[in-house]
Amino acid sequence: MLSVLGGLVSAIVAKDSLVGWPADVQAWLSDGPSAPATVVEAAVRAVRETPDETLAAIYAQLVSSSNRRALGTFFTPRPEVQLMLDMWQEAEGDPSTVVDVGAGVGVFTVSASQRWPTAGVYGVDVNPVTLGLLALRAWIGQMRLEEPASRAAGIRIVREDFTTWIERLELTQGPRLILGNPPYTRSQLMSAADRTRLEQAAGGLCGARASLSALITAISLLHLGPKDGISLLLPAQWLESEYARPLRNHLSALENRRIELRLVDSRLFADAQVDAVVLQVGPERAGPAEFVVAAWTRERQSHRRRLISRNRLLDVSWRALFEEESLSTFGEEEADAPLSDFCRLRRGTATGANDFFVLSDQDVEHHGLRKWAIPLVRRLFKYSDDIGTEELERAGVLEKRWLLVATSEDRIPGGALDLYLSTGEVAEVDRAYLCRVRPRDWYDLHHDLVVPDIIVGPMTREKMRFATNRAGAAIVNNLYGWSWAEDLPSESRVAIVEWLRTPEGQRAVLGAARRQGAGLKKIEPRALANVRIPQRVAQSPRSML
């Protein structure tokens, strides 16, 4: 069917007009039969009247969505393209070179060439069929197609992988704009060799689970010259995914480049229900530049733009930037300090084998382990915000509220502890990874024991919990906890916890959390450590030095 489509394009375009068409695109034209005159006339008329819709629809009907998904092919409606060009035109100057990443049927390529007629526009893609449709569109629209090495204004069609072609970006004329809708291909749909190559090319800005669009964004950023910029339409997952945390941190550190994020309504895409965001990174400026966020829908056009404080963006989810209630979390309204200035925050004890180390009253009594069992809180929903010894005692004999903590000195041959540890060794608990690599004996948790002042429940649908640990209970790594800085006054400690429980504090915490399935929100330790505590609540010990 794609060969027949090639025959149709061949019947439309004169042979002497194929200058600038890549060789394998021309080979595709010769594969199919010549089309009837009535079909040729109908195709020319449709492409001339509605080029974007016609070419995207033809390709989408011939190639199933499952097959397009492997290449990350999703067609961008013209209103979103115009939005991106308007954003760039409003904030930055005219580019001399525009590179369309994953050009597809050419909506970005053609629109950029029309917007900036003196620019050299490169449509780069690996797909010869969509590039052939792009070339057809340009030919019908009487637009110039130039050889890739040409310095003249006009469109160049490049049949290459953008992630390798970009090494030649500096050979083009600046200033340059990298523009478009990069392929959405998920990590699991890429080959292991490609993932390894792209991770290396991304320079550590993306983790192993990064999608192709995130990797292309990172690679593009690393190739920008001082006068260059990017404007990319990306799936919104990277705003909160852990794999993109280094990428977000890198962007927040580009203090001399103006950055704008524009959230796009998922309903705008006919062939993919995904939330998308426009990322625009401008050329370097002489001084600090704005970091701006807004949302955009066709009905409301644009929500109010908001200026964001960059020092609040480190190690946090950016999805909440678009929520009105998060203004105090990311705005620049008052001097404050990160939570990490007031305490040491970390995950709970990673035992490597909770079934063995976490015990109920019955387990403790049955094996005679009372001497080596310390109080444990595993699930906050069972307790109040002020956990005392009496509450732990009311938890019940079936609740696993004890943690086994012992040393080699405690292990007397034939004793109760020795017998219990021996059952673990028979069951090969000692061969579990964390047990095997412990610096001391496989069962000695002292080096990683966490008995915090405050216990944190990191996952919620509504409210993040912060519980005072008067009982001195340990926690395992499904919970977080912190120990206060020694020189922090007790009134400041109380004030911080009380503020975190208020609606304002909850907005700050939930604004830094990641969105997961079924309405769950989860905050990572780094993100929580970076939540800002207002100066009116408590003054940082560091600022008092």
The per-residue pLDDT for range 47-92, each reduced to its tens digit, is 888 887 788 788 777 776 655 555 545 667 778 888 899 999 988 9
For residue 514, the surrounding DSSP H or E stretch is strand 514-515
Q: Are 133 and 10 in a shared domain?
A: yes
Both tokens of 300, joined, read 């409301």
What is the pLDDT averaged over residues 22-30? 86
Neighbours of 149 (CB within 10 A): 7
The residues pairing with 483 across neighbouring beta strands, listed in sequence order, are 344
d(CA 438, CA 73): 47
Is residue 510 a contact partner of residue 521, using CB atoms and an 8 Å limit? yes
The residues pairing with 387 across neighbouring beta strands, listed in sequence order, are 469
Domain boundary among 484, 512, 540: 484
What does residue 372 show for φ and ψ, rounded to 5 degrees? -115, 10
The residues pairing with 100 across neighbouring beta strands, listed in sequence order, are 123, 179
Give the tens place of pLDDT for each residue, 508-545. 888 778 776 677 888 888 888 888 899 889 887 765 54
**355 domain residue, yes or no:** yes
Both tokens of 186, joined, read 């998920």
The C-alpha angle with vertex 294 and arms to 104 and 237, in degrees rounded to 5, equals: 55
Smallest CA-to-CA distance from 416 within 479, 384, 373, 470 is with 373
Instruction: Please give the full DSSP string across 338-383, using - where no structure is assigned.
Output: EGGGTEEEEE-B--S-HHHHEE-HHHHHHHT-GGGEEEEE--GGGS
Q: How many domains does the chain have?
A: 2
pLDDT at 237 over 70: yes
pLDDT at 329 over 70: no
333 pLDDT band (50/70/90 cuts)? very low
- pLDDT of res. 168: 93
97: CATH: 3.40.50.150
d(CA 28, CA 100): 22
What is the pLDDT averaged over residues 329-333? 54
DSSP-derived 3-state class of residue 36? coil
Flag the least confident range among 142-151, 236-245, 254-263, 271-280: 271-280
d(CA 398, CA 353): 19
Q: Are 76 and 212 in a shared domain?
A: yes
d(CA 110, CA 103): 10
**329 domain residue, yes or no:** no
What does residue 532 show for φ and ψ, rounded to 5 degrees? -85, 130
Is residue 281 a contact partner of residue 229, using CB atoms and an 8 Å limit? yes
- In 214-309 the beta strands, taken as DSSP E runs, fall at 229-235, 257-264, 276-284, 291-296, 306-307
DSSP-derived 3-state class of residue 117? coil
Report pTM: 0.69
Both tokens of 315, joined, read 């190690």
The residues pairing with 64 across neighbouring beta strands, listed in sequence order, are none
- pLDDT of res. 257: 96
For residue 93, the surrounding DSSP H or E stretch is none
Could you list the residue range(s) of the whole structural domain that residue 410 is in? Answer: 344-484
Please list, in sequence order, all residues whose beta carbon lies within 8 angstroms of the beta carbon of residue 281, skipping any fewer than 6 positions away.
221, 224, 229, 230, 231, 251, 254, 257, 258, 259
**266 domain residue, yes or no:** no
pLDDT at 299 over 60: no
**282 domain residue, yes or no:** no
**387 domain residue, yes or no:** yes
Smallest CA-to-CA distance from 133 within 20, 75, 55 is with 55
Residue whose pair of structure tokens reads 């600038």 in the numeric block: 20
Flag the least confident range among 89-98, 261-270, 423-432: 261-270
pLDDT at 272 over 60: no
- 167 vs 275: which has the higher pLDDT: 167
Size of the chain, expressed as the number of residues it contains: 545
What does residue 232 show for φ and ψ, rounded to 5 degrees? -125, 140
pLDDT at 114 over 90: yes
Give the tens place of pLDDT for each residue, 435-467. 999 988 999 999 999 999 999 999 998 899 999
d(CA 345, CA 315): 14
Give the tens place of pLDDT for each residue, 408-421. 999 999 999 999 99
DSSP-derived 3-state class of residue 120? strand
Is residue 229 a contact partner of residue 280, using CB atoms and an 8 Å limit? yes
Q: Are 182 and 61 in a shared domain?
A: yes
Domain boundary among 232, 262, 286: 232
DSSP-derived 3-state class of residue 187? helix
How large is the angle between the packed helices 503-511 and 490-501, nearest 10 degrees? 80
Q: Which residues of 66-105 are buried (b: 16+ CB within 10 A; e: fewer)?
A: eebbebbbbbbbeebbebbbebbeebbeebbbbbbbbbbb
Q: Are 52 and 195 in a shared domain?
A: yes
Cα 325–chain centre separation: 21
Q: What percent of the chain has pLDDT over 90?
A: 51
d(CA 441, CA 411): 11
Q: Are 215 and 353 in a shared domain?
A: no
Is residue 177 a contact partner of residue 228, using CB atoms and an 8 Å limit? yes
| Tally of CA atoms within 13 A in the half-sphere of 119 that contains its CB | 24
Give residue 299's region: left, alpha or beta (phi > 0; psi -120 to 50): alpha
**498 domain residue, yes or no:** no
The residues pairing with 120 across neighbouring beta strands, listed in sequence order, are 97, 154
Domain boundary among 181, 210, 232: 232
d(CA 159, CA 123): 8
**306 domain residue, yes or no:** no
DSSP-derived 3-state class of residue 67? helix
Is residue 100 a contact partner of residue 122, using CB atoms and an 8 Å limit? yes
Give the tens place of pLDDT for each residue, 117-136. 999 999 999 988 889 889 88
Mean pLDDT across the chain: 87
Does 175 sit behind a cis peptide bond, omega within 30 degrees of 0 on the bond before it?
Answer: yes
The residues pairing with 231 across neighbouring beta strands, listed in sequence order, are 179, 280
Instruction: Please give the full DSSP string across 493-504, using - where no structure is assigned.
Output: HHHHHHHHHSHH
**262 domain residue, yes or no:** no
